[in-house]
Amino acid sequence: MDITTESRVGEIAAAHPLATRVFARHGIDFCCGGGVPLSQACAKRELDAGAVVAEIEATLADGDDAGEHWSEAPLDALVRHILADYHEPLREELPRLETMARKVNRVHGEREPVRLPALLETYLALEAEISRHLADEETGLFPAILERGASVAGAAALLDDHREVGRRLAEIRELTDDFVPPEGACNTWRALWAGLEALESSLHEHIHLENNVLFPRLAAA
């Protein structure tokens, strides 16, 4: 696709996976907020949309954008990819981060009596939301796709879930000062910040594949 400032962010990400590197670099939401034109997304971040287009084009020219495009893969292969590369790792990572968040709050709560309890509360809400969402997909939408090849039942509710996850992730980013640990933070504290940043990145990719690739393909099937 030709990329312009009026191209929708999610469509750019779906057509050119390497573009997500540029979006992540500039904090442009290409998953939950992928339905808006690039010009609007850039205005929100106070970025020059033309410069971002040029940066995307340069990235595509320099990199290999011929890797796996999930917009063209069979639907069952896309679902299996989401299950193996995103759902399964989350089941291990979410409890690990919860353990660290509880420890940091317990040990350093007196130093950060407002931020750390708020972070723990927000993380636990995010964890519960994700866990419920995974179960809904794995017992409803995904079996329908794997067994019958296509289904749009429940997709609207899943989009609402994604918006809620996006809101929680934004709260966590704000509470962690963009994942920059405070001076003198212990190793666990630093590991928690790094783990939360990696979780955000993974969830953005995960939600992008569903919002901008899977769901549109189901609707068109």
156 in the same domain as 118: yes
* pLDDT confidence band for 64 (50 / 70 / 90): low
160 in the same domain as 207: yes
pLDDT of residue 68: 59
Percent helix, percent strand, percent coil in the chain, to nearest 5: 70, 0, 25
Show the domain range for 53: 9-62
Average pLDDT over residues 88-100: 97
Q: Does the structure show a pLDDT above 60 at 57? A: yes
Predicted confidence (pLDDT) per residue in 119-137, tens digit: 999 999 999 999 999 999 9
- State how far the Cα of 191 lies from the Cα of 196, in Å rounded to an integer: 9
Predicted confidence (pLDDT) per residue in 66-87, tens digit: 555 788 889 999 999 999 999 9
Q: Does the structure show a pLDDT above 90 at 195? A: yes
Does a structural domain hold residue 2? no
Q: Tokens 């994700």 appear where?
A: 130
Which of 136, 150, 168 is CA-nearest to residue 75?
150
Does a structural domain hold residue 67? no
pLDDT of residue 207: 95
pLDDT of residue 163: 93
Rg of the chain (C-alpha set): 18
22 in the same domain as 125: no
DSSP at 84: I
Q: Chain-wide mean pLDDT for the chain?
A: 91
Q: Does the structure show a pLDDT above 70 at 65? A: no
Average pLDDT over residues 6-28: 91
Lowest average pLDDT, out of 53-57, 151-155, 161-165, goes to 151-155
Given 41, 62, 83, the domain boundary residue is 62
Does a structural domain hold residue 140? yes
129 in the same domain as 24: no
pLDDT of residue 48: 97
175 in the same domain as 202: yes
User: Could you give the number of structural domains in the chain?
Assistant: 2
77 token code pair: 């292969």
pLDDT of residue 217: 87
Predicted confidence (pLDDT) per residue in 18-55, tens digit: 898 899 899 899 988 888 999 999 999 999 999 999 99
Q: Which residue type does 83 have? A: L
96 in the same domain as 37: no
